[in-house]
């Protein structure tokens, strides 16, 4: 089954092997000599570098290995990311099988079926595309790899004894260190382990009763190494991210609203993966009573109330919802990331929905085996499940090609999210740099209208207007830029005979710098 899962995953994301590097953070790969090699100088750089708000030495190490083998051929970088994602599908099937075994009394064939369905739902979902098809997001698939290894070893240790148990615990802790060295978003793993100890492992009682007894204290003590690693990872992440994007002064009520929006956003996109974009931008102004925030809060409250009411009959529902919220916490908006949401943020939280899908498949198979439902109905349900998985695979195949190059990416982005300032600006810059200045002006003007206080589109417009011979329009944008961003205007002063040094070249597109 493992080879089949890996093969299907590779097939669905195969177009990524033809993808290019993008003008969207991939400059850290294409124009960064720091990681390009495996000498002491490069290794030292990997351990100390803070790039785009991330400390990720193991991710840099894998990118360095790609560079040594492939040079700057994007095929090799995308191949490694794709193979890691396929490996994650296999690892998740093993994790899911252990979880289903602990939570149900199903025989092995049913466990294998449920775990396989869960792994396919996770691996084939279009929300995974950004993490796999974008070279800069190697950190997602690599941290996911170690995260799943840590879970698998922890679950194995929970049912083992003696020396085997000790070695599995050491392996789990080491894998967690690897995950933190790949991307700090895994900092919530200790809370996930506590959740697993409550359900389905039942090593801790529910609702906190008896959590301080002798047996429970041993369970808590096991978490100490994970907690120490988590605190260290969180501290490094906070420092690294603050160098790129200083903390904002949004009130906590607004942060909470954005966090609830995130919870609802990925839930809806998981159910209906349409209109996916590389950027879901924070509005220029956020209002506490914005309809989107209010609607999300109502939706989240509804789901939370439902799983709480059903917690005795369906404890898995509450556990999955809690896992989803825990793993989304670092990128939920409580600490602002500069964007409202991002598909890549769903990589680990998406395991919850996949487990739900796998459990549904297992329950139908169990009901058919027990004669609770008729064979014809079971076959129909199986057909629907296969159709849904095929649909996910086709959508991922198509979405992967959106990330083919910067032109296709920003062309799709302005179609999916036309009010995205960054998307319009980046599309405009790309068109200008590829010989279509007239079309680029249209997008740059749209970007300027969306964010009139931002300097990027005005800088680009000055250059384009001068290229087109529209001196009056260029001067008007330049004068506006002097009032808005004097530093940016000084870099263009030589173009108007006013002294200063023109930076030369095109205007780089807006960069993410997010988690």
Measure CA 31 to chain center: 23
3-state secondary structure of 51: strand
The whole-number pLDDT of residue 333 equals 81
How far is it, in rounded angstroms, from Cα 114 to Cα 412? 35
The whole-number pLDDT of residue 249 equals 64
Q: What is the 3-state secondary structure (H, E, C) of 219-275?
A: HHHHCHHHHHHHHHHHHHHHHHHHHHCCCCCCCHHHHHHHHHHHHHHHHHHHHCCCC
Q: What is the pLDDT of residues 17-67, one digit of tens each?
A: 999 999 999 999 999 999 999 999 999 999 999 988 889 999 999 999 999
Which range among 143-152, 386-395, 464-473 shows the weakest confidence by mean pLDDT?
464-473
Give 166's pLDDT tier (boundaries 50, 70, 90). Answer: very high
The whole-number pLDDT of residue 504 equals 47
DSSP 509: P
How far is it, in rounded angstroms, from Cα 399 to Cα 15? 9
Q: What percent of the chain has pLDDT over 70?
A: 94
The whole-number pLDDT of residue 502 equals 52
Contact 340, 333 (CB under 8 A): yes
pTM of this structure: 0.93
Cis status of the peptide bond prior to 200, with omega within 30 of 0: yes
Which range among 200-204, 225-229, 420-424, 481-485 shows the weakest confidence by mean pLDDT?
481-485
Structure tokens that stand for 321 in this block: 């919802």
Give 246's pLDDT tier (boundaries 50, 70, 90). Answer: low
Provide the mean pLDDT of the chain.
91
Listing DSSP states for 311-345 in one string gives: TTT-HHHHHHHHHHHHHHGGGSSSS--SEEE-GGG
Q: What is the pLDDT of residues 312-356, one digit of tens each?
A: 999 999 999 999 999 999 998 887 666 889 999 999 999 999 999
Delineate the domains of the chain, giving CATH numbers in brackets.
2-402 (no CATH), 418-496 (1.25.40.10)
Which of 299-313, 328-342, 498-512: highest mean pLDDT? 299-313
How far is it, in rounded angstroms, from Cα 35 to Cα 61? 7
Give 512's pLDDT tier (boundaries 50, 70, 90). Answer: very low
Q: What is the pLDDT of residues 122-158, one digit of tens each?
A: 999 999 999 999 999 999 999 999 999 999 999 999 9
**CB-side neighbour CA atoms (13 Å) of 382:** 14
User: What value does the mean pLDDT take over residues 479-492?
Assistant: 87
Give 217's pLDDT tier (boundaries 50, 70, 90). Answer: confident
Q: Is the pLDDT of residue 208 over 80?
A: no
- Beta-carbon contacts of 258 under 8 Å, excluding residues fewer than 6 positions away, are 250, 286, 293, 332, 333, 334, 336, 340
H helix or E strand, kind and range, residue 208: none
Give 506's pLDDT tier (boundaries 50, 70, 90). Answer: very low
Which range among 184-193, 276-285, 362-371 shows the weakest confidence by mean pLDDT?
276-285
Helices H, strands E: what count in the chain?
23, 2
Q: Is the pLDDT of residue 456 over 90?
A: no
């Amino acid at each position: 089954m493992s080879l089949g899962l890996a093969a299907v995953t590779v097939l669905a994301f195969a177009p990524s092997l033809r993808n290019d590097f993008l003008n969207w953070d991939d400059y850290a790969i294409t124009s960064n000599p720091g990681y390009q090699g495996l000498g002491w100088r490069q290794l030292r750089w990997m351990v100390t570098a803070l790039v785009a708000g991330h400390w990720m030495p193991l991710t840099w190490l894998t990118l360095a290995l790609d560079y040594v083998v492939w040079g700057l051929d994007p095929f090799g970088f995308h191949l490694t990311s794709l193979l890691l994602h396929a490996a994650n599908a296999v690892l998740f099937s093993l994790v899911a099988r252990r979880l289903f075994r602990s939570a149900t009394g199903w025989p092995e064939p049913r466990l294998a079926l449920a775990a396989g369905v869960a792994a396919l739902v996770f691996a084939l979902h279009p929300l995974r595309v950004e993490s796999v098809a974008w070279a800069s997001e190697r950190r997602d698939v690599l941290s996911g790899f170690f995260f799943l290894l840590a879970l698998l070893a922890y679950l194995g240790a929970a049912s083992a004894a003696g020396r085997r148990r000790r070695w599995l615990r050491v392996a789990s802790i080491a894998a967690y260190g690897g995950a933190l060295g790949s991307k700090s978003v895994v900092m919530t793993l200790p809370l996930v382990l506590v959740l697993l100890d409550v359900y389905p492992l039942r090593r801790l009682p529910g609702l906190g009763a008896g959590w301080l007894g002798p047996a429970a204290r041993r369970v808590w003590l096991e978490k100490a190494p994970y907690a120490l690693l988590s605190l260290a990872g969180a501290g490094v992440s906070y420092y690294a991210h603050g160098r790129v994007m200083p903390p904002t002064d949004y009130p906590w009520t607004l942060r909470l609203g954005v966090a609830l929006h995130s919870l609802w956003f990925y839930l809806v996109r998981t159910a209906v993966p349409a209109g996916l974009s590389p950027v879901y931008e924070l509005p220029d102004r956020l209002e506490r009573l914005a309809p989107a925030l209010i609607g999300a809060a109502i939706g989240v409250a509804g789901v939370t109330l439902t799983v709480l009411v059903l917690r005795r009959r369906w404890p898995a529902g509450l556990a999955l919802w809690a896992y989803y919220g825990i793993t989304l916490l670092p990128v939920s908006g409580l600490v602002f990331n500069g964007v409202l949401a991002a598909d890549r943020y769903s990589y680990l939280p998406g395991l919850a929905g996949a487990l739900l899908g796998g459990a549904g498949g297992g329950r139908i198979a169990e009901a058919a085996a027990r004669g609770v439902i008729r064979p014809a109905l079971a076959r129909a349900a199986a057909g629907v499940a296969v159709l849904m998985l095929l649909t996910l695979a086709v959508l991922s195949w198509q979405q992967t090609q959106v990330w083919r190059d910067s032109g296709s990416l920003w062309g799709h982005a302005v179609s999916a999210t036309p009010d995205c300032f960054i998307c319009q600006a980046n599309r405009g810059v790309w068109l200008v740099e590829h010989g279509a200045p007239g079309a680029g002006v249209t997008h740059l003007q749209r970007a300027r209208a969306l964010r009139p206080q931002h300097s990027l589109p005005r800088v680009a417009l000055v250059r384009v207007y001068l290229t087109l011979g529209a001196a009056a329009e260029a001067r008007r944008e330049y004068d506006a830029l002097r009032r808005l961003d004097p530093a940016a205007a000084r870099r263009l002063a030589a173009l108007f005979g006013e002294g200063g040094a023109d930076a030369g070249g095109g205007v780089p597109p807006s960069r993410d710098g997010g988690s």
